[in-house]
Structure 1
Amino acid sequence: MKGSTNNVASALSKLASRPPTPLTRRGLTGVNGVFSRHLDYGSKQLSWLRGSLGSTTALIATAGKVGEPDMELGILQMTGPRLQAAMFGAMLLAVWLDFLQLADVVLRECPAYSIEALFVDMNRIQQRMAPTMASLASADPGQVEAATLAMPELMGQLTREFDAIRDGARRSMENQAKTFAAVQFVEMLTLASALQASLPRLPPAAPAMLGTGLVMGSGGVMAGSQLVVSAEWVEMIRRLVQAGVISIPAVSAAVRIHGGQVMMAQSNGELPEGVREALGDSPEVRAMHETGRAGAGMSENPLHHVFPRERRAWFQQRGFTGDLDIDNFCVRLEKAHHEAIHGGGNWRLGRTWPGEWNRMIMDELLRVEARTGDVLTSNEVLKIVAQRMKAYDIPMSFSPWRGP
């Protein structure tokens, strides 16, 4: 993903630095800068994409140092929304790059195509992409999942938009009796587009080409202009799905997108046969269908802060900032369970019970610091908290707090 993001960044930089044509001053950087906003929009997306990948890397590094398997898995699962958002955000940004390159070619090579019409087209397409991109950038698990599920339909719409502009440019050139070479140039752009994709039906063990966004070699490195899925990649995705890091609907949406228009049209909750085969068609996979929070029975369950919010400053002094902010360590519990660990419905009365969660966890952490004489590190805090979560039967499946 980092390689793909860097490639898109490089391509955007080249477009932004490409001078307009000498005489007519046409191109994305010409025509009085009216298309500069579209270049800027693409560049702005790189910031949150790199931030998501950086957060994922930092959390993985933290998970590897905790030394407690369940907490390690819980922290790895926290990377899921970030990684999922980055995967689909990079895909969408690659599509926007397609439109920018197409617009640049049309401006330079197709003088008969109306600049005003192209400007309106680009604004409409950006507005169509913007809500999904904003949802992905939010890093909110619910918004990311909803944007992921909507991506196949969006990609189908964008493909039709791309084809309409390309065909319009070709017709304008033909009507003006321009050179055949220029018409071919517009046609050739299709071959480099992230929107043009096919999914060969190959055995699960054989490498399969899934579209034209990234390339993954046998070592698991993605770069270039195509995504090649090897058997190793399929196995990694299968394990990430079973561990709860990446959702099955996300994998299904990605494959439908890369599978082209036919698979994009599949909007029901069942996975395409090829996805089930690639992931092993196990009971875990067959049991996973597209569903929202209400379908999963999660809509009314409260979020429990594992780390007491009234001691936020104490935890910040021990490294719980940024991606490790205590608001990222919340667990959705049944209402009765949540009240029980806090000593009942009245939290003030509950605090008089030594076993009340907030009181107990702070007493334990302060006792360990007093015994050792050293300030606990974030990894040491996580290990102690993990042991207490097991004792209180609290699952290590974290969700971020989005409340006031």
Structure 2
Amino acid sequence: MIPDDRIQLLLELYLQDRASESERRELLDIIDGRPDIDWYALLAPSFREDGADGTFTPEKWQPVLDAILQQEPLEQPAPRIRYLRRTWWAAAAAMLLIAGAATWLFTGRNAGPEPIQAIVTDIPAGGDHAVLRLANGQQITLDSVQGNIVQQGSLQVSNDSGAVSYQGKTAAPEYHTLYTRKGGQYRLRLPDGTLVWLNAASSITFPTYFDGDTRKVSITGEAYFEVAKNAVQPFIVQVNQMHITVLGTHFNINAYNDEPDAKTTLLEGAVRVTAGRYMAVLAPGQQARVAKDRPLTIVDDVNVEDVIAWKNGYTVFENADIATIMRQVARWYDVEVVFEGEMPARRFVGGISRNSSLQDVLRLLEFENVNLKIEGRKIIVKP
């Protein structure tokens, strides 16, 4: 058992940016394996010795502590994919909160080049918001209705707790579209039992039942699929310039128009990705990337936990530039992001719960010396 004074020393070294790489790793390993630690007792001396006002209380610290210690995934993990209770990025997110949000709360210290403006009304995180558009053009805002929302012949469409599901079928296939705006996400069970998680600013168009030799859907934005197995009726996803063909598998597609690449990442099974005259069959852990005017490329050994972190309730970035991070922020918090001047070529590693407010996210970025200015729902990023 590692003594408390050792853990406290590691915390102090980390907060003062004096920890070696081995000491940082030791601290993250402790966070990963010691849910019993009394963080209140260990952190309070550090903040008081650093010039805090002595108002360190469990009540004041609770929101930050919750974000540090509550690392259970929101959804059950896919079969055959191992998830630790706290993955490395969850531990890294915890340390970002300790070093960023906690420091701001108790010392008022600011490491950034320009203090972030106070946000008079904080912007909450996104949530389960979506619209279902039927074949006749009717649009159903799913936030405001629950239970059986469509009854057409034997087709029954139900909406419950952020998920819409289909049972039965219409006399002939009709096409419905489920879409989210910025700040929204939703889940869908297709007529064949396939499960779909839809990220913010995304859509999926699908038939009310699958007939013929294939099961075809089209998407925009980002979606995670757990495809129901059917060896005689392949499942096909059309997105931008890509066709993804599967029999039964788990995979993620990120194909936002404002991203430089469209990416298909395989977690389980096998998929065939076709883009123009290029084709590749992915194995688990591989990612297919398609960019404008460039051929399809394959990346091996992708960290799939990072790729689907959004589905499990986290925003995670690994070796990401500030533009990539702010695109995620804009979509999830429904804000406008403007860049002034040329951004330095810096890379970031970290993450935070998707339940965190915009203020929490921006404070962490500010702690990492990102120069931000707030004007209403506009975020201005400066060099």
Which bin holds the TM-score, normalised by the shorter protein?
under 0.3
Structure exhibiting the larger radius of gyration computed from Cα positions: 1
TM-score, length of structure 1 as denominator length: 0.22
Relative contact order, higher structure (CA 8 A, sep 6+)? 1
More strand by share: 2
TM-score, length of structure 2 as denominator length: 0.23
